[in-house]
Chains A and B, each alone.
Chain A
């Protein structure tokens, strides 16, 4: 089993609903966020293109954050979800330095926090909060090893990219382009 996410940059309208849903679902403290929307504008009028990306922890298969964690607080859960165990985290910041996506932050309570793919919802068979609220249904979450899953189907039929693949982290979030 390998959880992953595919996000359609052509369907995303950049409404930031995913960001608010995540903050509400996970009690993210004010001023912080576990996901965010990036808008990339390329060119000048009238030849302009725009790409909207909802970004979060990439739950990398070769995670530099898990590798550098001195206590093992950052670890892989079933399905490759990268998680931080709060009571093992010493707040040294090594994982924040190690993440090429700046997906982690130091929670005001001291430990390091980030996207969990809403593991508490996934275990109950639901989609992560961001996926379930998306008004354009531009996000697909599922098991990349299951050949019948919707995400595998989407990735078979569309061109996609991942972020900074040259960092060697093997990110598990794919952007349909």
Chain B
């Protein structure tokens, strides 16, 4: 029998008995970042492919949400800071080694890009919109002319943003559940899948919904594969990693993970989307909302469970 205890006593808030320094703000931000990244990626790619008129909800409507999602996400990050008035210190240094550092810079670049993109389409989506000042109208005309030039960096930065939401966690060696390179791609795919769900809900065009439904189905299958991969990788790892996997395989998080993330968030909406592709009538909102809730719960579980895992010594 081996027993370990603090002889001096130690009960530091949010650290003992187990770490809980990142609360609900972080998973909400990771979720919003993922959705925003997915929407911008699809908008950029379909513009580059020249399909902006066929995929109007993807390219024109959905991106109008993105500046709000990103700014709300940034506000969540701000709420998480404990030394709030010093937040500007993020932008006085460039720390390439710090994932959070370059995440902050990526957000600094992609948020203005998303605002420019939305500005170039706002009049098309809301025909009554009036820019009021002439210089704004000139600026809009200029933006419309160079849309393709914006689309490329937007798609690239969207991928970086999507992967970053995973790398933010995976860079922590000290938390075995997070410390896996599959987390970046997994969060990217999950973010894209939730973005596809948002687009499906916004779209009124049956053809566009069908294309996005197919893409979403593919993304869900990839995500399921990545989750299996994640757990397999842990089980083949060190004791700390096996303990991490066991949180989801019999441990505290098993029931919520398999019920809300795997079954209701991935497998069930995938089945509904298959039925729809086969020609059955399925209310489009059901799979889309399930995918969104699944993605949100997945991030909550990962952030909370990861903080429970640690090295043993």
Binding site for B on A (CB under 8 A): 14, 16, 19, 31-33, 35-44, 52, 64, 67-73, 87-94, 96-100, 102, 105-106, 109-112, 163-164, 166-169
Binding site for A on B (CB under 8 A): 1-16, 19, 21-22, 80-84, 86-87, 89-90, 92-93, 95, 97-101, 103-104, 171-175, 238, 307, 310-313
Closest A residue to B18 by CB, please name it. A102
Tell whether, in the assembled complex, residue B6 and residue A36 are in contact, meaning their CB atoms are under 8 Å apart.
yes
Tell whether, in the assembled complex, residue B173 and residue A167 are in contact, meaning their CB atoms are under 8 Å apart.
yes
Tell whether, in the assembled complex, residue B95 and residue A71 are in contact, meaning their CB atoms are under 8 Å apart.
yes
Inside 8 A of B4's CB, which chain A residues have their CB? Answer: 38-41
The one of A37, A71, A97 that contacts B307, using a Cβ cutoff of 8 Å: A97
Task: Using known A-B contacts A90-B81, A91-B83, A91-B84, determine if residue A43 contacts B5 with beta carbons closer than 8 Å.
Answer: no
Inside 8 A of B15's CB, which chain A residues have their CB? Answer: 96, 102, 105
How far is B4's CA from A163's CA once the two chains are assembled, in angstroms?
14
How far is B58's CA from A147's CA once the two chains are assembled, in angstroms?
67
Closest B residue to A97 by CB, please name it. B172
Inside 8 A of B104's CB, which chain A residues have their CB? Answer: 70
Task: Name the distance in Å between A88's Cβ and chain B's nearest Cβ.
Answer: 5
User: What is the predominant secondary structure among interface residues of chain B facing chain A?
Assistant: loop
How far is B284's CA from A149's CA once the two chains are assembled, in angstroms?
73
Task: Using known A-B contacts A100-B311, A102-B15, determine if residue A94 contacts B7 with beta carbons closer than 8 Å.
Answer: no
Inside 8 A of A39's CB, which chain B residues have their CB? Answer: 4-7
The one of A44, A68, A71, A88 that contacts B1, using a Cβ cutoff of 8 Å: A44
How far is B175's CA from A98's CA once the two chains are assembled, in angstroms?
7
The one of A44, A69, A167 that contacts B98, using a Cβ cutoff of 8 Å: A69
Tell whether, in the assembled complex, residue A97 and residue B5 are in contact, meaning their CB atoms are under 8 Å apart.
no
Tell whether, in the assembled complex, residue A72 and residue B81 are in contact, meaning their CB atoms are under 8 Å apart.
no
The one of B97, B98, B171, B313 that contacts A164, using a Cβ cutoff of 8 Å: B313
Inside 8 A of A88's CB, which chain B residues have their CB? Answer: 86, 89
How far is B97's CA from A67's CA once the two chains are assembled, in angstroms?
6
Tell whether, in the assembled complex, residue A40 and residue B81 are in contact, meaning their CB atoms are under 8 Å apart.
no
Task: Name the distance in Å between A52's Cβ and chain B's nearest Cβ.
Answer: 7
Q: Which of A40, A71, A93 has the most CB of B within 10 A?
A: A71
Tell whether, in the assembled complex, residue A92 and residue B100 are in contact, meaning their CB atoms are under 8 Å apart.
yes
How far is B285's CA from A38's CA once the two chains are assembled, in angstroms?
54
The one of B1, B8, B83, B312 that contacts A43, using a Cβ cutoff of 8 Å: B1
How far is B9's CA from A31's CA once the two chains are assembled, in angstroms?
10
Tell whether, in the assembled complex, residue A70 and residue B90 are in contact, meaning their CB atoms are under 8 Å apart.
yes
Inside 8 A of B14's CB, which chain A residues have their CB? Answer: 105-106
Inside 8 A of A164's CB, which chain B residues have their CB? Answer: 311-313
Tell whether, in the assembled complex, residue A71 and residue B21 are in contact, meaning their CB atoms are under 8 Å apart.
no
Known: A106-B13, A110-B82. 9 other contacts (CB 8 A): A33-B8, A36-B8, A37-B6, A38-B6, A41-B4, A70-B100, A91-B83, A97-B21, A105-B14
Closest A residue to B16 by CB, please name it. A102
Tell whether, in the assembled complex, residue A166 and residue B95 are in contact, meaning their CB atoms are under 8 Å apart.
no
The 3 closest A-B pairs by CB, nearest first: A91-B82, A91-B83, A110-B83
Task: Using known A-B contacts A38-B7, A71-B95, A100-B310, determine if residue A89 contacts B83 with beta carbons closer than 8 Å.
Answer: yes
Inside 8 A of A67's CB, which chain B residues have their CB? Answer: 97-98
Task: Name the distance in Å between A170's Cβ and chain B's nearest Cβ.
Answer: 12
Inside 8 A of B82's CB, which chain A residues have their CB? Answer: 91-93, 106, 110-112
Inside 8 A of B171's CB, which chain A residues have their CB? Answer: 68, 98
The one of A31, A37, A87, A106 that contacts B8, using a Cβ cutoff of 8 Å: A37
Tell whether, in the assembled complex, residue B10 and residue A33 are in contact, meaning their CB atoms are under 8 Å apart.
yes
Q: Which of B11, B21, B307 has the most CB of A within 10 A?
A: B21
Task: Using known A-B contacts A39-B5, A71-B101, determine if residue A87 contacts B86 with beta carbons closer than 8 Å.
Answer: yes
Inside 8 A of A102's CB, which chain B residues have their CB? Answer: 15-16, 19, 310
How far is B175's CA from A167's CA once the two chains are assembled, in angstroms?
10
Tell whether, in the assembled complex, residue A94 and residue B8 are in contact, meaning their CB atoms are under 8 Å apart.
no
Task: Using known A-B contacts A37-B6, A37-B7, determine if residue A97 contacts B93 with beta carbons closer than 8 Å.
Answer: no
Task: Name the distance in Å between B31's Cβ and chain A's nearest Cβ.
Answer: 18
How far is B4's CA from A45's CA once the two chains are assembled, in angstroms?
16
Q: Which of B7, B90, B312 has the most CB of A within 10 A?
A: B7
